[in-house]
């Protein structure tokens, strides 16, 4: 979820989203899509219609996370940072680095923050 070149701080603040594909160990941009709706449930349907493996975003209400998971999409929530830095961190397996954690996110995430299904 993207907002002004960064991971959207809140799911429903996102105006667009980026689709990436892993090719030879590097994440390659497949496209950037603008949301057709600002309704969070409809936004989830738009994203999940493309069958992504994972959604990376900032704050995400648990009910939306459950909806994404029920549609087969993994979730890495409560993350932040410029999109290009987050992509590099994914490639280097550094997504759990505290610099990408949303402020105030000090809890044990039990997989919610960093994308375990």
| Contact between residue 21 and residue 27 where contact means Cβ atoms under 8 Å apart | yes
What are the tens digits of pLDDT across the range 16-50?
988 888 888 888 888 889 999 999 999 999 998 98
What are the boundaries of each domain within the chain?
2-100
Q: What is the pLDDT of residues 85-98, one digit of tens each?
A: 999 998 898 988 99
pTM: predicted TM-score of the whole model, two decimal places: 0.77
Topology of 2-100 in CATH?
Answer: Nucleotidyltransferase; domain 5 (3.30.420)
Contact 73, 99 (CB under 8 A): no
């Amino acid at each position: 979820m993207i907002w002004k070149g960064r991971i959207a701080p809140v799911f429903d603040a996102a105006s667009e989203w980026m689709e990436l594909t892993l090719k030879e160990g590097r994440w390659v941009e497949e496209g950037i899509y603008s949301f057709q709706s600002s309704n969070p449930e409809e936004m989830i349907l738009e994203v999940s219609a493309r069958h992504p493996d994972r959604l990376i975003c900032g704050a995400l209400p648990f009910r939306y996370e459950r909806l994404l998971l029920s549609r087969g999409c993994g979730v890495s929530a409560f993350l932040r940072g410029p999109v290009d830095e987050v992509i590099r961190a994914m490639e280097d397996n550094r997504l759990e680095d505290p610099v990408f954690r949303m402020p105030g996110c000090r809890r044990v995430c039990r997989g919610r923050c960093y994308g375990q299904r």
